[in-house]
Amino acid sequence: MSKTRRAKRRQGMSTRAIHAAEDRERYADSITTPIVQTSTYVFKNSKEVEAYTKHGKERFEYGRYGNPTELVAQRRLADLEGAEDGVLFTSGMSAITTTILTLVKSGDHLVITDDAYKKTLEFCSVYLQRFGIGCTIVPFGDYGALDRAIGRKTRFIFSESPTNPYLNIFDLERLRRIARKHKVLTVIDSTFATPLNQRPLEWGVDLVVHSLTKYLAGHNDILGGAVLGRAGLIGEIRALHKGLGGVIDPHCCYLLVRGLKTFALRVQTQNESAMKVARFLEGHPRVKKVYYPGLASHRHHDIAKAQMDGYGGVVTFDIRGGLATAKRFLDALKLCFIAPSLGGVETLITHPATITYYRETRKQRYELGITDTLIRLALGVEDADDIVADLDQALRKSARARKRK
């Protein structure tokens, strides 16, 4: 291989997660990116002010418009996702709502799939209507319905892949073809996948959204969001972001940069653990059904296999019994924490019926596919055998208690 070819070789994900977007020489020779904990930045004299305001000299002015620690995190995420640019936010929902508001105006229309995150669906179908913006919700995986839902005023298609909680996988190639046919934009929430497992921009998607709270920061200690894509679109989103003010703080950015350094190692471990746990659960007598795209039994396994490098750290499953059995199972766990998030180093487990969908009636939940016995497990980085053992003893204990009654 020639020197030129070697120079062009793209570095691996772990290398870029540690080194991308940072200068080799750093403040005070620090090995880590420092936290620039300030709300405003000083001009030395009036000439500096004019160089910035009149001549466009790049520098920091006020915290709502950028921060050095934030800039490193932002550029690193863009590198990992293969994006030209990106913007960071205080949460994943802030990233989603700001992006949507940037892309539409009164009289416009958008299309979203019914398997999207509950709060995203609520924002699109309820709040946007107050501003005269139409929204059509189509069944996930019905590409004919998706195609028919797009009209003259449609501006973009929004979906997730994988989705929550059934881990459905969007065929990004078909999405690209439909979007180009109608000349509309595409937005994919890729939080459950991460750039290690899936990079939607490579499939022609226009914008990718992440909840940084999950896998990318990876330690259950920050809230954050990001939208990544080509520079022109990101510039429009950044302009509105400055006005709405959902600005991530420097300390969160520092923790994000720290988390990203082990992101590839963590997610690879979570991929492997999830596959092991999914296979165990699929063979367990107390489990009715397992939903994991790495299993051949998952309805989108072939799509996932074609467009993903890994299947993620979340496994959803339905256990035998009823609501009381599900509660006994959760209460019997000794290692897994009952909590409504994912992507951190600790294994978390949640019961959608009583945590996310507790306001809905049983009939409403079942219409959404949220059964009394549906469980979502988000693997951490513990030894997979220990998680398997914990799940096994809790499943058996909940079954024995049911028989005694």
Taking the C-alpha atoms of residue 294 and residue 91, their distance in angstroms, rounded to an integer, is: 29
H/E element, 182: helix 172-182
Q: How far is CA 237 from the centre of its chain?
A: 18
127 carries an active-site annotation: no
- Joined tokens for residue 257: 């940069």
Three-class DSSP category at 61: coil
320 carries an active-site annotation: no
DSSP string, 9-34: PPPPHHHHHHHTT--SS-GGG-SSPP
Catalytic one among 64, 276, 289, 396? 64
Where are the strands (E) in 162-266, listed by range? 185-189, 207-211, 225-229
Could you tell me where the DSSP H helices lie in 261-313?
263-282, 301-307
Count the Cβ atoms, other than its own, within 10 Å of residue 113: 22
311 carries an active-site annotation: no
Catalytic one among 76, 199, 214, 328? 214
Q: 108: buried, middle or exposed (CB in 10 Å: 19+, 13-18, 0-12)?
A: middle
Is the omega angle on the peptide bond into residue 68 within 30 degrees of 0, that is, cis?
Answer: no
Taking the C-alpha atoms of residue 207 and residue 245, their distance in angstroms, rounded to an integer, is: 20
CB 311 within 8 A of CB 363: no
Q: CA angle, corner 100, sides to 94 and 104, nearest 5?
A: 150
Q: Which residue from 95, 13, 21, 30 is spatially nearest to 257, judged by alpha carbons?
A: 21
Count the Cβ atoms, other than its own, within 10 Å of residue 277: 23
C-alpha atoms less than 13 angstroms from C-alpha of 393 in its C-beta half-sphere:
11
Taking the C-alpha atoms of residue 104 and residue 98, their distance in angstroms, rounded to an integer, is: 10
Catalytic one among 79, 85, 189, 390? 189
143 carries an active-site annotation: no
Where are the strands (E) in 96-167, listed by range? 109-113, 134-138, 154-160
Q: Terminus-to-terminus CA distance in the chain, angstroms?
A: 71
Phi, psi (deg, nearest 5) at residue 204: 95, 5
Catalytic one among 76, 79, 117, 291? 117
User: So which residues are the catalytic ones?
Assistant: 64, 117, 189, 214
